[in-house]
Amino acid sequence: MVEPSGHLDAVVVGAGVVGLTAALVLQSTGRQVAIVTADDPGATTSALAAAVWFPTKVGPRDRVLVWGARTYRVLHEAAGDHASGVLLRDTVTLYRDRPGRPWWSAAVPDVRDARPDELPAGYDHGLAFTVPLAEMPVHLAWLLDRFVRGGGVVRRARLGSLADLAGETPLVVNCAGLGARDLVGDRSLTPLRGQIVRTTNPGLTVSLRDEHHPGGYTYVHPRRDDCILGGTVEPGRDDTTPDDEVTAAILDRCTALAPELADAEVLDVSVGLRPARPTVRLERDVGSVPGSTVIHDYGHGGAGVTLGWGCAEEVAALADAVEPR
């Protein structure tokens, strides 16, 4: 049992970007909400994310498109607040063959063919567009501050199962990410290991991405004062120790895309475990916690930032169907 803290209308499990956005949307409906988390937001997988809007390794496409379009709009508006940590970043996705219009482009209003002068050496095709980028240490702190100032409560606890919350609240929202594998026994949830390199920013202002690079998934995402370079997409691998050879390969691939990085200083190397699942699980469940309705909201792979607000609004709609506000 988690120690109670007065009347609660909802408990959100998990303090990554998916949990924080769900908690904020539920709070906006007038509910008294608490977050229960094993780790502070700054210690979650979300804190390591490159966090550029893009639906990476996630499904189902029809629902992802709806969630992603809504999240795009919310983050676009948040970019007007410097404190949010959200930037609007020009982006070029690179291809070796003419790509046409990918399925996700319906959520992004300005997708166009990249001009030749926008393409790095060796590329004949690309799509150019503008998407939000969240500097996650700043953005997570901003979300948490909004939640706490709105009367939200954050409690540190490591749950053995969701049933540990029995009797505490009528609504439990499971945003535990990879932790849901043990909390609810979901073996379809697997780690999707990603290694990134953070460097100084030598003056870059355009994000570059090559999902089909023969050397591995490659991206350069410049933030205000640094750059996030990647990366790896390694299903089922759960060790978090950086690999020096992988670091060198990431630097080589990214410098080929943006030669300015040759003069950049490596600041740190990190590994995160994305919570991958064949599809996002966003549904109501009446059996996991006696006396409570559970709404699951996990399995976003590398797209928690891309889908968070859209999913949070669906969570609130499911909650309202049970207990209207």
Question: CATH: 3.40.50.720, 3.40.30.10, 3.50.50.60, 3.40.50.10860. Which one for 1-87+133-189+277-325?
Answer: 3.40.50.720
For the chain, the structural domain boundaries read 1-87+133-189+277-325
Q: What percent of the chain has pLDDT over 70?
A: 98
153-196 tens-digit pLDDT: 999 999 999 999 999 999 999 999 999 999 999 999 999 999 99
**What is the predicted pLDDT for the residue at 3?**
46
Phi, psi of 252, rounded to the nearest 5 degrees: -65, -50
Structure tokens at 171: 């609504």
9-44 tens-digit pLDDT: 999 999 999 999 999 999 999 999 999 999 999 889
Structure tokens at 316: 């609130």
Compute the average pLDDT of residues 126-147: 98
pTM metric for this prediction? 0.95
Give the 3-state DSSP-derived string for 38-104, with helices as H, strands as E and coil as C: CCCHHHCHHHHCCCECCCCCCCCHHHHHHHHHHHHHHHHHHCCCHHHCEEEEEEEEEECCCCCCCHH
41-52 tens-digit pLDDT: 988 999 999 999
67-76 tens-digit pLDDT: 999 999 999 9
**What is the predicted pLDDT for the residue at 6?**
65
